[in-house]
Amino acid sequence: MHFDPNTGEKIMDPGDEIQNTAAQAAAPAADAAQQATAQTADAVNQAAAQAAAAQAAAQAQAQQAQQGAADAAQQAQQAYAQAAQPQFQAAPGVPQDNNVKKGLPIGAVIGIAAAVLVVIVAVVVLAMKNLGGKVTLVNTLINAYDGEYLTDASKDFKVDPFGDFTYTVEGEVEDVEFNVSIASNGGSHTRSAYATVTYSGFTADFTGYIDEKQIKAACPVLGDYVFLYDYSNDKNDGYIVEMIEDAGVDIEDFNAIIGFLNDNSDLAKKFYEKNIDYFKDIANDLDFKKTGAKETFTVNGKSVSCKEYQAVITEDLLVGWIEGYQKLWDDFYKENSDDFEVIEDLAGVDIDLDDMFDEMIDELDDMDDLAISIFSKGATAACIRVSDEDNMIEVLFQGGDYLAQNLEINYDFDGDDGTLLTVEGTTKGDVQTTTIEMEEMDYEMEYSYNRKTGEFSMTCEAYGREMYNLEATIEIGKNEIKYTYETLEVYGEDMPFDSLVITFSTKADIKEPKKGEEIDLGNMDEDELEDLAMDIMEELEDNDDLMELMEDFEDLMWYFY
């Protein structure tokens, strides 16, 4: 598929399919905004970032494309680290400070930072709501990744952030097989965590489980027990209760916090939905109008004359948005004040929402008006620009086999201008390759995907040093995405995986501890707990296979030093 630069119409090539993927269309701009606001005042960053994050979550299509595979690689490394308890060291020669080069006045551009994130939210929301003629302006963003192979492959994969899911990491390293699984059933508020390690025919496993009444856990190598704590029972009176209350926490409050964190009453879900509705209303405040101005941009190698459609964000408007968002948080805090107070006591922190939001608003004092412009010809938008009197950041869609295959993000902050990020892509048959560069950070990432075989590869360098290199096969279905890794290198070192498979499913595979002697931890006295501890120690000391496994793990840990 390509675009006619004169009419703005899409011209479909044989085999191309059209999908609507608004969230992914916003991804390059979101990445750019993240870099552009790296040193911006914390308060404004938090306000705008929360807006972008909440809306992005509503549109997300699970572990998409390039970012999904990179995250999965990192999570795989972490999963193995938890199983073997290795200690990773920072790679020598890699700077720990990832800020852009000295001299770039990013920190001074508070209004620009906020506006870039706001426009991403607004454009995606407008696309969702189909607001009459405004849809023409955002159609390009909705369809900016039409023809991108990973987008096409994952169009039917949908994720409810508060629905059912199972996340699994399984593999083998140095003759040790491992499987880690986390699952959640949103409707029943039932969650489970399961891990198993097998070595030389010996298997050790652990199962954790929680529902709306109780927590269960079992680890057979500790004995034939199922450990139980009933947090719905305020009559627990064992030694554990004494220890909790001696720490200054009332047992009823402690039990209530467990239910709160498990979201037994769908508190988080309801708050999330209110956030989404609020940011939809914010989008309605943005009134894009024709200015009569025109500018010429390059799309698919040809000059395209585009009309400007502009909305203006004033200080009063942005303050109003922040104050409205503060009310959402105030209401949520008041509704759950008892739980928050206990959490504050346990964490040793004091949550002061008024101070936090007041600081955000203070940062906007005497802010210049911000203009958000979309330059469009027909159904093709070539540029999004956010600017005030002295500063500007813009996203240029330069086209290709899909509109966002090639793009640039440029800035001009108080006369210091340059290119923040570039994306270059090519399509050869069933393979698409994309290169992302950020010159300020000496950063380059390249990934490719074969839509026929599912083969995926990615390399990433920063500050002149290779960060990671991976090769995998991605299988995408309606209810599942699976990554099977062939190669995984971190800082030039091969990770010692003989096999590694990471799976995300939209079905809940809940695992409950198997039957055994039930140990009611909430009602055991001190003597009973001491006797139980002694029995477990004897069980461990008599387990020769477990001791051998622990020794081998200790030897394996040295691989990572």
Is pLDDT above 70 for 501?
Answer: yes
CB atoms within 10 A of CB 447: 22
Cα separation, 40 vs 28, in Å, equals 19
Amino acid at 274: K
Q: What is the pLDDT of residues 45-71, one digit of tens each?
A: 332 333 333 333 333 332 333 333 334
Expressed in percent and rounded to 5, the helix, strand and coil fractions of the chain are 40, 30, 30
Is pLDDT above 50 for 76?
Answer: no
Amino acid at 240: I
Q: What angle do CA 76, 81, 87 make, to 5 degrees?
A: 135
- How far apart, in Å, are the Cα atoms of 198 and each of 178, 208, 209, 389? 6, 18, 21, 64
Name the nearest CA neighbour of 376 among 283, 310, 457, 463: 310
Q: What angle do CA 486, 475, 190 make, to 5 degrees?
A: 105
Tokens of 303: 């000059």
Is pLDDT above 90 for 130?
Answer: no
Is pLDDT above 70 for 392?
Answer: yes
**Are 35 and 418 within 8 A, CB to CB?**
no
- pTM, whole model, 2 decimals? 0.72
Cα separation, 260 vs 474, in Å, equals 36
Interacting residues of 7 by C-beta distance below 8 A, sequence separation 6+ = 377, 378
Cα separation, 329 vs 339, in Å, equals 14
**Are 449 and 154 within 8 A, CB to CB?**
no
309 forms beta bridges with 290, 374
Provide mean pLDDT across the span 251-267: 90
Q: What is the pLDDT of residues 413-445, one digit of tens each?
A: 888 888 989 999 999 999 999 999 988 778 899
Provide mean pLDDT across the span 94-98: 39
Cα separation, 430 vs 428, in Å, equals 6
Name the nearest CA neighbour of 118 among 409, 354, 318: 318
Q: What is the pLDDT of residues 157-198, one digit of tens each?
A: 888 889 999 999 999 988 889 999 999 999 999 999 999 988
Amino acid at 269: K
Q: What is the predicted pLDDT for the residue at 141?
A: 58
Is pLDDT above 60 for 543?
Answer: yes
Amino acid at 251: I
Name which of 80-84, 108-112, 405-409 the model is least confident about. Answer: 80-84
Is pLDDT above 90 for 305?
Answer: yes
Amino acid at 205: D
Confidence of residue 41 (pLDDT cuts 50, 70, 90): very low
> How far is C-alpha 43 from the chain's CA centre?
21
**Are 100 and 409 within 8 A, CB to CB?**
no
